[in-house]
Every structure is written in C-alpha cells, then in structure tokens.
Amino acid sequence: MFHPSTFADRGGHHYARRVTRRHFTGDPDAALLIRPASPADEAAIARLSALDEHVLPRGERLIGELGGRIVAALDVRSGDAVADPFVPTTGIVELLGLRAAQVRR
C-alpha cells in the first residue's frame, strides 16, 4: 500500500485525467489499496462514472481504494479512468495506470 502523496502529478499521461478540484478533508494517512475490480464493485464504479461524467468501457478494471473507500477505477486495456472529483486522485490514477501497464505485459 502507498500513501497517495508519495507520488507527484507528472501530467501529460493519457490516464492522468483528474485535476484536484477540492481540498481533501479525509485522513491524510489513509492507506491506498490498488486491486482488480470485482462484480461487487459495479455500483461504486457507476457512482464514480456519474460523478466524473465519464463511462468506463466494460472489461478488466483496477480499483483505487483510499481508506477503504473506492475513489478511482481504471480500464486496463484502454487506460480510461473515472475518479471522485471531490478527492485528490491524480496520483492514484497515475498509480492505477502504472499497474495497468504491468498487468498488460
């Protein structure tokens, strides 16, 4: 697990769609978990899609959980991502993209 502040925004990546819009009011020491999505995650992914106004393609997806809450999801094949616009997720989406590149190999 990584703390999201460990990774600076590198910008310019196709999967780095998110710009932090709000100040993070959650636990700054919350653990980050990156894992494959399961069917049980569909409602959370749909919620993120609605918040982010973007729909992920169907297929293999990775989830970013911050403090036990799903805040980002990424399609492994396309690199498309959805994320909670009220949480700083740029670094999380970047990590999901890096993990997706490993999974694709």
Residue type, 25: T
**Edge-to-edge strands of the sheet including 81-83?**
32-36, 61-66, 69-75, 81-83
Our CA angle for 85, 103, 87, nearest 5°, is 15
Delineate the domains of the chain, giving CATH numbers in brackets. Answer: 4-104 (3.40.630)
Look at residue 19 and tell me whether its pLDDT is greater than 50.
no
For the stretch 29-58, what's the b/e string if a residue is b when 16 or more beta carbons lie within 10 angstroms of its beta carbon?
ebebebeebeeebeebbeebeeebeeebee
Please write the tens of the pLDDT for every residue from 21-67: 444 456 777 899 999 999 999 999 999 999 999 999 999 999 999 99
Residue 14 has a pLDDT of 43
Please write the tens of the pLDDT for every residue from 73-99: 999 999 999 999 999 999 999 999 999
pLDDT interval class at 11 (50, 70, 90): very low
Question: Residue 32 and residue 42: Cα distance in Å, rounded?
Answer: 19
Residue 16 has a pLDDT of 40
Of residues 46 and 11, more confidently modeled: 46
